[in-house]
């Protein structure tokens, strides 16, 4: 039997199964799946070097399905070859299990989701336009580990409208990632309508060429064409030639009755299903009985040879400062938390070879440059340019390869990647996100550069557990350089997503070399009995100033540095009760954030508390210095004093 | 004096002022400003049709500065021509005011910000890559209003890496927006380093051509070249020719001592400033004294002729259902909130000509298609394809032109545009955001399609006031079709940002034609005295079921439909106190959301409350139906009964 016929027979089988599993589930996208049936067959049964019983084997080629809704076709192939699945114990996926698609206890989630027990995939997809960046991350990690493997990425024509695809394409050319093969599945239909002419195969090919790719345009239902194009990619050894495939396909291939508009995400059932299957089978009349073939063979990858990394222990903040000629700064007693982050990142780089740094053209502001400019680390620094979405999804791909990616940019610009970050969290990515210049202390640059609702969003993930049972994300707010240094290290040690907020201004040291920090904990800086002030980050300093004045007014306040969300609620309640249930929270961002987290904790207890939340209550504007903006927003230490005194009925005086 | 010499002299003046104002402010981006000095001079003193004393005059040409950090050059020009500024009373901007750049009480914010009293700009920029989409929105609105005006948009080379630029370019070609002129300012430098070769003038030009643009590549410091290119754009009358300019410029033009790397966002001061000014002045030695010229003239726009719109009153839900042949559905007593939204949107379209609809390839899921397919409204529907970032910034541009844009897509995919939405909110945009398929009731499609931390983020804006003194955003959660219909209308009437969440499943009617809804309010569905259950949206139905069972257990519960955040806290507290301070909140999303908002309100009062928050506590997965996913997440009505009973110490029985 010819390769063409063998692929075709297998494609019919997988397409048939896609149709029936979606009909059984009552939802899903069989027509999209059918548009990929030949491409997936050629990749999974011929081109890819992999092993079904260990699909995440380090040297295995990878398949990233960016248009995640097409996943039934992959599930069908995986069941056919018995891919290992399972959340805890692994077992080969059986064809019978395809009937469980989308069931609450099935590994076959509605969209690719490695965390639900499907390690064939490296990342959850389904929110469109992200897969190619994930593929780039997998490719970068392979290059770092000197593993010769290929990453195939299937992208829908409709989803290629997402700007992130353009970002990923630029990144792939910039980094010369010839081990990634983007395959554009041009079936011509989106959900509501046909795709725009801007996403026609011709236009996509022209854009790819203008971006620097060598484009192979093929008929995505001709196995020999697919094979020839993928072979051309596989045999390429010119680092300046980066291939992409534009495949013209048919949505609902083989089944004319379910082609055209109106069949996106709608499985045929009953008579319609029977008719579609009949049509599909008719395309293989000459191939009766040939549902498998020696022409289709899965070739294994090379054996993995783990490399021993040379790590050295991480030094203390004081030692590191001195080692990097920052002894004078250390003596000055002041340093911005963002600089301490940069220092810690550099130390971590030497201490753990898995640590990589990604930044979006602001490494001289986030101080990721301390890592980037270290000649022993610079190969693990990845300049992502002004394209945050791609940065976060690339990091998710690197995490899937065992790296510990630190992504840094202004906290405000991290917003650009929230969807990507959420997908990374769903994927179980061990991603570390560092937002600098957060809150109103940025002052002069104004609200377009200030992160203000960021804590609300990230802390929402802290109310949920991920698949390891940990908070899906920690929010970390260091108040000084010692804290930032130690907490950066804590982030690296924690196996899961973390968001750290660092500030622009230099601030005085509050802690010293003996201070310890732990995710989920907090520090009581001053223990009083009248009022508990709870704050974090930059505002710890403002609250400290307030404490001095409150002391003069006879108020004995407790000051809590709540550097982690979530936190130990019971422990915080003990301190609240020691302060008669009087709580003042202070933060340099919008509400629904730290103060709200404290309110959540207190109200769960059922005890009576009074919580006053000081937050930014108006959209801020530029101001030349921190003092002006704090006054403008009512968050100056004098405002804190007034609020605290008023809560306790203490006169502030003239 | 020649045009060339006149522009050059003016360019030196504006550049000089950019340098001095940044030096005075102690921050800012004078080198970027200098790279634009000739382009801005030609546009503002020659090409644009506008009036300085009314810069937002409807028929005026507009300038969108996507790379907002270059704003000093615009401020200098605006002061030179006395542009009207001021938050309340308008006055001409004086040159002396340039010294106030970035002061807390100045209209000259760090980045363009119309809401701080600078109506020359239509939208706040500064978070990069968004301006071209805003420009597209302004152009679309002009076309709708049959106003012949041009929108000039300046984009940095570094920021053109942002995928949103690719989205905007596709959109401009799709919609044939020949009234937009994208001008790429290729000065070769980003912040941390040079721009990538992927953003070289050649590469940008190639990508633009592949996208469908006719590209004019010019020297951005040659006034005649700039003029010729802009004139070519202005005189174009071929709807199929869409121009873009690629301008090669010098960052820190005229001042060799501050060119090259290391001078991004860093104003020279003292001797360095003196030297830079000296260098700049030297470029104009032949032009001594010629700081203004008849060659530079601002031509006014055409007089605005307002058009009378034909609006008809909005019908009631019942009337509309019948009118649109949905009488049988009305009788069935069930309808998904997303469908009621679509119906309301259609009614609104007829009732208010300012209402426009934008959707991202899912109008058959959000039911924006009810608007899109109405032949009298379809010209006001804008299919944005799968490119959410562009959709939201386009909407901000349309809002700046007086439209009321409703943007709809899956709530999860709205995340893709959070940065753009925040910028729209900073801009004071009257933008309406509708997220469908939110929460876990989406079930089968899994977490990649479910909006779960969305309320936390949007409600954070509800804790802040915008420049009108209103909450910067309302979060709206209708529980049934009547509520969705009425609240869509409320959103349109409210002058400011709103986010409405609608669900996939059909749900029973709870309200009827007599129900009224108001942003900031809530509805008490059942009044009890033992426990107040607070919920919204889909979960109202689950709580209603729980109430029946609780009643059988002898629990007399209050049920609050908290359809708006923020809400009337005092009124809610009254009901809480009527229920002995026992509060159970129930929601189908992650925490930091509705329950947390209730906790905020209660703890502010100082009274004692016990609040139990039922939220999604793990990253969810696919399930075939709502019941399975609710059980899996512990949010089934039986779970609500158990939790409520346990709070009150009531045995649930066998």
Q: Which domains does chain A have, with CATH numbers?
A: 3-284 (3.40.50.970), 317-508 (3.40.50.970), 524-648 (3.40.50.920)
Residue A129 contacts residue A164 (beta carbons within 8 Å): yes
Residue B586 contacts residue B538 (beta carbons within 8 Å): no
The catalytic residue among A67, A167, A388, A422 is: A388
Q: Which residues from B are below 8 Å from A603, CB to CB?
A: 583, 599, 602-603, 609-611
| Total number of residues shown for chain B | 654
Q: What DSSP string runs through A289-345?
A: T-S--TT---BPPPPP-PPPP---PPPPHHHHHHHTT-HHHHHHTEE-HHHHHHHHH
Which string of b and e fits B189-198 if b means at least 16 CB within 10 Å? Answer: bbbbbbbbeb
Closest CB from B166, B466, B619 relative to A464: B619
Report the relative pairing of strands A381-383 and A507-508 from DSSP bridges: unpaired
Give yes or no for residue B11 having a pLDDT over 70: yes
Closest CB from B206, B365, B415 relative to A210: B206
Q: Where are the beta strands (DSSP E) in B45-136?
A: 62-65, 84-85, 91-92
DSSP state of B94: P
DSSP state of B595: H
Percentage of chain A beyond pLDDT 70 is 98
Q: What is the pLDDT of residues A444-501, one digit of tens each?
A: 999 999 999 999 999 999 999 999 999 999 999 999 999 999 999 999 999 999 999 9
Residue A53 contacts residue A82 (beta carbons within 8 Å): yes
Task: Give residue for tokens 């260990």.
Answer: A54
Q: What is the pLDDT of residues A15-63, one digit of tens each?
A: 999 999 999 999 999 999 999 999 999 999 999 999 999 999 999 999 9
Tokens of A97: 């299990």
Residue B109 contacts residue A622 (beta carbons within 8 Å): yes
Interface with B, mutate which of A387, A505, A598 (most B CBs under 10 A): A387
Poorest-pLDDT segment among B234-243, B575-584, B599-608, B609-618: B599-608
Residue A349 contacts residue A380 (beta carbons within 8 Å): yes
Q: Please choose, from the candidates B78, B33, B70, the residue with its C-alpha nearest in 3D space to the C-alpha of residue B51.
A: B78
Residue A307: predicted pLDDT: 85
Residue B448 contacts residue A426 (beta carbons within 8 Å): yes
Residue A331: other Cβ atoms inside 10 A: 9
In angstroms, the CA B73 to CA B40 distance is 7
Task: Give residue for tokens 């020949």.
Answer: B178
Residue B583: predicted pLDDT: 97
Burial grade of B234 (CB within 10 A; 0-12, 13-18, 19 or more): middle
Q: What is the rounded average pLDDT for all residues in chain A?
A: 96
In angstroms, the CA A261 to CA A251 distance is 9
A470 CB within 8 Å of a chain B CB:
no
Residue A560 has phi, psi (to 5 degrees) of -110, 125
Residue A215: predicted pLDDT: 98
Angle at A619 between CA A618 and CA A624, to 5 degrees: 105
Active site residue A167: no
Dihedral angle of Cα B412, B414, B415, B421, to the nearest 10 degrees: -160
Q: What is the pLDDT of residues A245-282, one digit of tens each?
A: 999 999 999 999 999 988 999 999 999 999 999 999 99
B444 CB within 8 Å of a chain A CB:
yes
Q: How far is A381 from chain B (nearest CA, A)?
A: 13
Interface with A, mutate which of B64, B65, B261, B453 (most A CBs under 10 A): B453
Give the 3-state secondary structure percentages of chain A, helix then strand then coil, rounded to 5.
Answer: 45, 15, 40
Q: Please choose, from the candidates B374, B373, B338, B381, the residue with its C-alpha nearest in 3D space to the C-alpha of residue B356.
A: B381
Closest CB from A28, A456, A600 relative to B457: A456
Q: Which residues from B are below 8 Å from A464, CB to CB?
A: 452, 590-591, 616-619
Q: What is the pLDDT of residues A146-200, one digit of tens each?
A: 999 999 999 999 999 999 999 999 999 999 999 999 999 999 999 999 999 999 9
Residue A318 contacts residue A330 (beta carbons within 8 Å): yes
Angle between helices B388-400 and B418-426 (to 10 degrees): 10
In angstroms, the CA A170 to CA B165 distance is 13
B629 CB within 8 Å of a chain A CB:
yes
In angstroms, the CA B564 to CA B547 distance is 22
Q: Are the beta carbons of A608 and B610 separated by less than 8 Å? A: no
Interface with A, mutate which of B384, B463, B594, B630 (most A CBs under 10 A): B463
Residue A71 has phi, psi (to 5 degrees) of -60, -25
Poorest-pLDDT segment among A300-309, A413-422, B57-66: A300-309
Q: How confident is the model at residue B327 (pLDDT cuts 50, 70, 90)?
A: very high
Q: Which residues from B are below 8 Å from A632, CB to CB?
A: 104
Burial grade of B642 (CB within 10 A; 0-12, 13-18, 19 or more): middle
In angstroms, the CA B1 to CA A585 distance is 64
Q: How far is CA B372 from CA A420, B352, B369, B484, B530, in A?
A: 30, 15, 5, 19, 48
Q: How far is CA A5 from CA A224, A249, B39, in A?
A: 10, 18, 61
B606 CB within 8 Å of a chain A CB:
yes
Q: What is the ipTM of this complex?
A: 0.98
Give yes or no for residue B16 having a pLDDT over 80: yes
Of all residues in chain B, the one with the smallest CA distance to A128 is: B386
Sign of CA dihedral B426, B429, B432, B437: negative
In angstroms, the CA A473 to CA A486 distance is 18
Q: Is the peptide bond prior to B137 cis by the omega test (within 30 degrees of 0)?
A: no
Of all residues in chain B, the one with the smallest CA distance to A197 is: B174
Angle at A422 between CA A188 and CA A598, to 5 degrees: 150
Determine if residue B634 is left, alpha or beta; phi over 0 gives left, psi from -120 to 50 gives alpha, anything else beta. Answer: left
Q: Which residues from B are below 8 Å from A27, CB to CB?
A: 444-445, 624
What residues pair up with B404 in beta bridges, in sequence order?
B355
Residue B93 contacts by C-beta under 8 Å, 6 or more apart in sequence?
B75, B78, B79, B82, B83, B84, B85, B107
In angstroms, the CA B423 to CA B134 distance is 11
Q: What is the mean pLDDT of residues A615-635?
A: 97
Interface with B, mutate which of A266, A424, A448, A601 (most B CBs under 10 A): A448
A245 three-state secondary structure: strand
Angle at A567 between CA A562 and CA A573, to 5 degrees: 85
The catalytic residue among B97, B162, B295, B388 is: B388
Residue B450 contacts by C-beta under 8 Å, 6 or more apart in sequence?
B411, B412, B437, B438, B439, B440, B442, B620
Q: How confident is the model at residue A311 (pLDDT cuts 50, 70, 90)?
A: confident
Sign of CA dihedral B157, B163, B165, B166: positive
Q: Which residues from B are below 8 Å from A413, CB to CB?
A: 127-128, 419
Residue B470: other Cβ atoms inside 10 A: 17
Q: What is the pLDDT of residues B137-147, one digit of tens each?
A: 999 999 999 99
Q: Please choose, from the candidates B301, B184, B176, B181, the residue with its C-alpha nearest in 3D space to the C-alpha of residue B238.
A: B176
Q: Which residues from A are below 8 Å from B166, CB to CB?
A: 163, 165-166
Q: Which residues from B are below 8 Å from A364, CB to CB?
A: 191-192
Cα A644 → chain centroid: 40
Q: What is the mean pLDDT of residues A395-417?
A: 98
Dihedral angle of Cα A242, A47, A69, A124, to the nearest 10 degrees: -80
Report the relative pairing of strands A214-219 and A334-335 from DSSP bridges: unpaired
Give yes or no for residue B289 having a pLDDT over 50: no
Q: How confident is the model at residue B1 (pLDDT cuts 50, 70, 90)?
A: confident
HSE-CB for A531 with a 13 A CA cutoff: 28
Q: Is the peptide bond prior to A184 cis by the omega test (within 30 degrees of 0)?
A: no
In angstroms, the CA B64 to CA B1 distance is 30
Residue B288 has phi, psi (to 5 degrees) of -50, 130
B569 CB within 8 Å of a chain A CB:
no
Q: What is the pLDDT of residues A521-534, one digit of tens each?
A: 999 999 999 999 99
DSSP state of B529: S
Q: Are the beta carbons of A596 and B599 separated by less than 8 Å? A: yes
Of all residues in chain A, the one with the smallest CA distance to B206 is: A210
Tokens of A232: 């051309």
Task: Give residue for tokens 């700049």.
Answer: B280
Q: How far is A168 from chain B (nearest CA, A)?
A: 9
Of all residues in chain B, the one with the smallest CA distance to A604 is: B611
Residue B260 host element (H or E): none
Report the relative pairing of strands B151-156 and B180-186 from DSSP bridges: parallel
Give yes or no for residue A288 having a pLDDT over 60: no
Q: Please choose, from the candidates B131, B142, B135, the residue with its C-alpha nearest in 3D space to the C-alpha of residue B58.
A: B142
Residue B237 contacts by C-beta under 8 Å, 6 or more apart in sequence?
none
Residue B129: predicted pLDDT: 98
B112 three-state secondary structure: coil
A 129-188 near B (Cβ less than 8 A): 129, 158-159, 161-167, 170, 173-174
Q: What is the mean pLDDT of residues A114-128?
A: 97
Tokens of B342: 């679509």
Closest CB from B207, B387, B448 relative to A423: B448
In angstroms, the CA B610 to CA B599 distance is 9
In angstroms, the CA B299 to CA B234 distance is 14
Closest CB from A115, A592, A599 relative to B456: A592
Q: Are the beta carbons of A465 and B617 separated by less than 8 Å? A: yes
| Total number of residues shown for chain A | 654
For chain B, the first-to-last Cα distance in angstroms comes to: 97
């Amino acid at each position: 039997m010819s390769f063409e016929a063998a692929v075709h027979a297998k494609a019919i089988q997988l397409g048939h199964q896609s149709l029936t599993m979606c009909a059984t589930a009552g939802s899903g996208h069989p027509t999209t799946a059918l548009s990929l049936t030949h491409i997936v067959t050629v990749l999974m049964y011929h081109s890819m070097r992999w092993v079904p019983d260990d699909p995440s084997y380090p040297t295995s080629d990878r398949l990233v399905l960016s248009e995640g809704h097409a996943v039934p076709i992959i599930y069908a192939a995986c069941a056919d070859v018995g891919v290992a699945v399972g959340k805890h114990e692994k077992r080969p996926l059986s064809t019978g299990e395809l009937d469980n698609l989308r069931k609450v206890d099935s590994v076959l989630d509605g969209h690719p989701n490695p965390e639900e027990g499907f390690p064939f995939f490296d990342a959850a997809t389904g929110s469109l336009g992200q897969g190619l960046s994930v593929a780039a991350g997998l490719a970068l990690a392979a290059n770092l580990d000197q593993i010769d493997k290929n990453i195939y990425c299937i992208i829908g024509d409709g989803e290629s409208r997402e700007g992130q695809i353009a970002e990923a394409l630029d990144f792939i050319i910039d980094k010369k990632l010839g081990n990634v093969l983007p395959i554009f599945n041009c079936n011509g239909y989106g959900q509501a309508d046909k795709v725009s002419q801007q996403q026609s195969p011709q236009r996509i090919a022209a854009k790819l060429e203008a971006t620097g790719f060598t484009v192979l345009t093929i008929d995505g239902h001709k196995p020999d064409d697919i094979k020839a194009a993928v072979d051309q990619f596989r045999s390429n050894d010119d680092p300046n030639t980066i291939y992409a495939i534009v495949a013209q396909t048919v949505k609902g291939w083989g089944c004319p009755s379910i082609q055209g508009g109106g069949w996106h995400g709608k499985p045929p059932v009953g008579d319609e299903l029977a008719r579609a299957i009949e049509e599909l089978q008719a395309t293989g009349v000459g191939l009766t009985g040939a549902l498998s073939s020696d022409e289709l063979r899965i070739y294994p990858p090379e054996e993995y040879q783990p490399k021993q990394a040379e790590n050295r222990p991480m030094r203390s903040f004081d030692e590191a400062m001195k080692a990097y000629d920052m002894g004078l700064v250390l003596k000055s007693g002041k340093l911005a938390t963002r600089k301490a982050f940069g220092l810690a990142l550099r130390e971590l780089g030497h201490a753990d070879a898995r640590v990589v740094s990604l930044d979006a053209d602001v490494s001289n502001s986030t101080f990721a440059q301390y890592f980037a400019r270290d000649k022993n680390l610079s190969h693990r620094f990845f300049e992502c340019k002004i394209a945050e979405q791609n940065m976060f999804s690339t990091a998710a791909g690197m995490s899937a390869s065992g790296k510990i990616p630190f992504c840094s940019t202004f906290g405000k610009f991290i917003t650009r990647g929230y969807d990507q970050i959420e997908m990374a969290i769903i994927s179980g990515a061990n991603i570390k996100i560092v937002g600098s210049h957060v809150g109103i202390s940025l002052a002069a640059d104004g609200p377009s550069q200030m992160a203000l609702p960021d804590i609300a969003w990230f802390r929402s993930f802290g109310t949920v557990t991920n698949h390891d049972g940990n908070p899906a994300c920690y929010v970390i707010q260091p108040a000084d350089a010692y804290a930032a240094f130690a907490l950066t290290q804590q982030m690296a040690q924690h196996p899961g997503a973390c968001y750290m907020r660092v500030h622009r201004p230099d601030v005085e040291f509050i802690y010293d070399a003996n201070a310890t920090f732990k995710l989920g904990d907090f520090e009581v800086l001053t223990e009083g009995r009248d009022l508990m002030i709870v704050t974090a980050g930059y505002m710890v300093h403002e609250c400290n100033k307030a404490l001095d004045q409150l002391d003069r007014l006879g108020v004995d306040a407790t000051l809590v540095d709540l550097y982690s969300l979530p936190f130990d609620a019971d422990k915080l309640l003990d301190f609240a009760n020691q302060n008669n249930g009087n709580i003042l929270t202070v933060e340099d961002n919008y509400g629904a954030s730290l103060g709200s987290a404290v309110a959540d904790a207190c109200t769960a207890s059922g005890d009576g508390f009074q919580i006053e939340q000081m937050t930014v209550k108006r959209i801020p504007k530029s101001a030349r210095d921190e003092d002006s903006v704090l006054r403008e927003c009512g968050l100056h230490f004098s405002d804190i004093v007034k609020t605290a005194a008023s809560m306790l009925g203490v006169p502030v005086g003239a």
